[in-house]
Structure 1
Amino acid sequence: MTDITASASGVPVPAPAPASTPAFVAATRTFYDAIAEDYADHFRDELTSRPLERAVLAVYAELVGTGGRVADLGCGPGRTTGRLASLGLDVSGLDLSESMLAIARRENPGIRFEQGSMLKLDLPDGALAGVVSFYSTIHTPVDELPALFTELHRVLAPGGHLLLAFQVGDEPRRHDRPWGRPVTLDFERRRPEQMEKLLAGAGFAMLSRTVREPDADLAERVPQAFLIARRPLAPTP
């Protein structure tokens, strides 16, 4: 749980992260704690205006199968989590930001949401039928991605599916003082080929790659990528 203290102005702010917390994790948590309500309001109808994303989620849900246990990692305010639940999955959400989780719990009272880092999941090996990382690896440095994907592979059962979404590109985009909040964070863009290579290195088999062009009506600047990969079935003895 994120501890909250008060600033001199009386506005709640997160307490400092433990010394053992990686700097990029602490920065991500602080950023989203600061903008949670603004973010949730701005992207409230995001999936409504994005039919391709809804289609990708529907395909993913069919691959996992009704009732499959899925973790939505970096769930934010829980919009994708709620969509997956409506598609018949047994889904829970995990996020660094307790402020985001408060919104997710408020808007999805029947879904379990927990605070934590996807870099080290409190789950036994092979516990999940699916893992979703919808734009939640974009704050993880590239040299940390192999360890992250190895962890996601660990918690998936053989035959389990991973859905990964991210913006396409080579240069990060810096968000400085969004909605006037005194925080800054870089949003990393990746190439699908780069991510597929890293996933293969962690033991995943690729199933599909979907890339759509930026939508000018949504003020997007770069293409959006959606990868579905699978932990292979264990070989027959």
Structure 2
Amino acid sequence: MYGPEFAEIYDHVYTLRGKDYPAEAKHVTEEIRARLPEAASLLDVACGTGGHLRHFDGLFEHVEGVELSEAMLEVARDRMPGIPLHQGDMRAFDVGRTFDAVVCLFAAVAHQSAEELAGTLRCFARHLRPGGVVVVEPWWFPETFLDGYVAADVLTPDHRTISRVSHTRLEDGASHMDVHYVVADARGARHFVESYVHRLFPRDLYEQTLRAAGFTTQYVEGVPSGRGLFLGVKEGAWRP
């Protein structure tokens, strides 16, 4: 999952499929500052190749990123040499400081069990100041997941042609997605497969787990990708 072949084309695939990274970063920032107007620092967990992070960099005084995949980090480091980037697992990392905001987008938190989700959110809380804001994008809920969903695209960036065909199925209470890529360029054509498992956590599990980690919680429907966002404020902030 998220190997070097995919890291090379990741940004092309999602941008050309319509993902608006600048607009999403702006919206998330607005949600953060609606709860903490003075927010100046942000940690992007599961930052990938930096699609959102490079835009957060223009919206906050200080940003950092955490990513498990070394292949994705290599792309991010080339793109953003001035931003601190850390290789780490969202369930147990320590970057040595706290932030005004911690975000985890693109349903990355759903690549784990409910018990691991609880540990992840506690880890996020440890990296937030009192009153800091956490933003978590979920995967689909059980009632909104479409079993057997198929998607297909042909994309043509940088004198290359990329075909993407995906199939998603329900198995053992989780979403299993296989994505087939064929990439053709001057070097020839090559095929590879990326496979992902997302847990179909219900909405109330996210909310209960956020509260258990020490957050107030709110769910904002729809944005940015149709799945909505969970927002939490870390308890313990002083209020006049």
Q: TM-score, normalised by structure 1?
A: 0.72
> What corresponds to 1:201 in structure 2?
212
For structure 2, list consecutive stretches of 5 or more residues without a partner in the other structure.
Answer: 143-172, 182-190
Matched, 1:225 2:228: yes
- Pick from 175, 178, 184 the counterpart of residue 176 of structure 1: 178
> What corresponds to 1:78 in structure 2?
50
> What corresponds to 1:55 in structure 2?
27
> What corresponds to 1:191 in structure 2?
202
Task: Name the amino acid aligned to 1:227.
Answer: F
- Pick from 97, 118, 121 the counterpart of residue 93 of structure 2: 121
User: How many residues in Structure 1 have an aligned counterpart in Structure 2?
Assistant: 197
Task: Name the amino acid aligned to 1:103.
Answer: V
For residues 37 and 230 of structure 1, what CA distance do their matches in structure 2 show?
36
Preserved CA contact (<8 Å) 1:66 1:89: no
Deviations 1:68-126 (A, max 9, x none): 222100000101111211212411111011111111122223322121112112245x7
For structure 1, list consecutive stretches of 5 or more residues without a partner in the other structure.
Answer: 1-30, 216-222
Shift in Å at residue 38 of structure 1?
2.6
> What corresponds to 1:212 in structure 2?
222
Q: More strand per residue: 1 or 2?
A: 2
Matched, 1:132 2:142: no
For residues 73 and 174 of structure 1, what CA distance do their matches in structure 2 show?
22
Shift in Å at residue 166 of structure 1?
1.7
Shift in Å at residue 235 of structure 1?
7.0
List aligned pairs for 1:128-167, cutoff 5 A: 128-134=99-105, 135-167=107-139
Q: TM-score, normalised by structure 2?
A: 0.71
> SS of the counterpart of 2:138?
strand
- Label 1:122 to 1:212 Cα distance change in 2 as closer, same or farther (>3 A): same
> SS of the counterpart of 2:221?
strand
Q: More helix per residue: 1 or 2?
A: 1
Task: Name the amino acid aligned to 1:33.
Answer: G
- C-alpha RMSD of the superposition: 2.8
> What corresponds to 1:18 in structure 2?
none
Identical pairs, percent? 22
- Label 1:214 to 1:96 Cα distance change in 2 as closer, same or farther (>3 A): closer
> What corresponds to 1:26 in structure 2?
none
- Label 1:109 to 1:123 Cα distance change in 2 as closer, same or farther (>3 A): closer
Preserved CA contact (<8 Å) 1:65 1:89: no
